[in-house]
Amino acid sequence: MPTAALSAEQPPYRSDDFVRVEKIDAHVHLHGTLPTFMSRAAEDNIRLLTINVNYADFPPLAQQRSDALAFVRAHPHRVAFATTFDAGGSEQPGWERKVERQLAGALDAGAVAVKVWKDIGMQQRDGDGRAVMIDDPRFTPIFGMLEKRGVVVLGHLGEPRNAWLPIPEMTIRGDREYFTAHPHYHMFSHSEWPTYEQQIAARDRMLDRHPKLRFVGVHLASLEWNLDRVADFLRRYPNASVDLAARLPHVQLQASLDRDKVRRFFLEFQDRILYATDIACQGPQEDSACAAQAHDTWLDDWRFLTSADTMQSTEFATAFRGLSLPRDVIDKIYQGNARRLFSRAWTEGH
Ligand SMILES: [Zn+2]
C-alpha cells in the first residue's frame, strides 16, 4: 500500500489552481432553474451530481425527476443525476415490481445511480408498527437487480451520531441547528426508532448480502465522528466508497485533534473518497444566494484539502490545519473516483 513514507508525494496544488483543476461535487440537490448557480459552477470548474431524495422539504419526486432531467439535458457535460424511489407502502403486494419498473425507466433516461435514504430506518413503518430497515428481505430483489446491472447505490442510512445525543452535546453547530429545526430526526428524543448502531448494522447486513453492489456510503457512511470506523467500513467492503457531503466539519474537528491521522486516512483511501457538499438549491428564489454560498464552500473546502493553512470554522471553536494533500490524491478525490464510479456521467457533446 503506497504511503507517504514509501513513495514521493506530488506537491500540493495552490489556491490559484482552484479554477484550473476540474472538480466534481458528487452530492447536490438542484431544483427548479438556477442560471446564476450554473454559471458559478462553470466559472469554478465544478461538475455536479444532483440527487433525488424522497424528503418532505424538497419538491415531490416526480418534480425532482423532471427538474433533474432538464438540468442534464441543458448541461450534459456539467450535470448528472441520481434517481430514487418511494419506500412508502413497501409491504404492499406489487410494490417491488413497481419500484423496479420505475428504476429501470429512470436508468434508461440517464440516471447514473440510485439513492436510498434515511426514511428507511427512521420513518417507514409497516401496518403492524414495525420499523422498516434497509436489510429487510423485501429490498433484496431491488438491490440484486442493481448489483447485477452494476448500478451505483448511494446510501444515506442513519444519521450523524450527534442525532442520538442531546443538543448541547452535539459536536458541530450545523447538527445542533438541523436537529433543533427537524426534531423529527433528533433520535435522542425518539427511542421508538432503532439506535445508531442498529442503523449501521442493518446497512452492513444489506451489504453482506450483496458483495458486488457498488455502494457509496454518503455522508461518510454515517460514521463521520470517527475516521477509524470509516476505515474499518472501507476495509470490510471493497466495493464501497464514501462521500464527504456535509461532513467535512467533522473531518476538520478530527484534524484539530490529530491532523496526521486524518491525513493518513485520506492517503490510504484516496481511491474510495468522493468530494461532495450536499448543497441544496430550491429554485429561482434561492439562485443567487445559493451560487454565492456554493462558491464560498467550494473555495473553503479546496483550501482545507490542498493547503496547510491554519483555519477556523464556524462549526466548532478550535483551529485546525489544512491537509495539504498531494496533487494526484486531490485529482482522485475531486474527479477520478467519481468518473470511475459514474462512467456514464458528464458526457461532452449531445
Ligand atoms: Zn443530500
- Whether 4 is covered by a domain: the verdict is no
CA of 242 to the centre of ligand 1 (A): 13
Distance CA 29, CA 48 (A): 9
**Ligand 1 centroid distance, CA of 76 (Å):** 21
Q: What CATH number did the domain enclosing 128 receive? A: 3.20.20.140
Tell me how far the alpha carbon of residue 245 lies from the centroid of ligand 1, in angstroms: 7
Residue 242: the pLDDT is: 98
C-alpha of residue 127 to centroid of ligand 1, in Å = 28
Is residue 130 scored above 60 in pLDDT?
yes
Distance 53 CA to ligand 1 centre (A): 8
Residue 227 lies in a domain: yes
| 139-183: pLDDT as tens digits | 999 999 999 999 999 999 999 999 999 999 999 999 999 999 999
Domain that holds residue 122: 15-341
Distance from Cα 57 to the centre of ligand 1, integer Å: 12
User: In angstroms, what is the span from residue 7 Cα to ligand 1's centroid?
Assistant: 36
Using a pLDDT cut of 90, give the percent of the chain over it.
Answer: 91
Q: What is the pLDDT of residue 350?
A: 42
Residue 5 lies in a domain: no
For residue 37, being part of any structural domain is answered with: yes
Q: Which residues surround ligand 1, an ion (CB under 5 A)?
A: 278
In a domain, 20, yes or no: yes
In a domain? residue 43: yes
Residue 7 inside a domain? The answer is: no
Q: Look at residue 29 and tell me whether its pLDDT is greater than 60.
A: yes
**If you measure from the C-alpha of residue 80 to the centroid of ligand 1, how many angstroms do you get, rounded to a whole number?**
15
pLDDT at 85 over 60: yes
pLDDT for residue 61 is more than 80: yes
Determine, yes or no, domain membership for 8.
no
Check residue 256 and give its pLDDT. Answer: 98
pLDDT of residue 20: 97
Count of domains observed in the chain:
1
Q: Whole-prediction pTM value?
A: 0.95
> Tens digit of pLDDT for each residue in 279-308?
999 999 999 999 999 999 999 999 999 999
Using the mean position of ligand 1's atoms as its centre, give its distance from the Cα of residue 278 in Å. Answer: 5
**pLDDT for the residue 57:** 84
Distance 277 CA to ligand 1 centre (A): 8
Q: How far is the CA of 322 from the centre of ligand 1 (A)?
A: 24
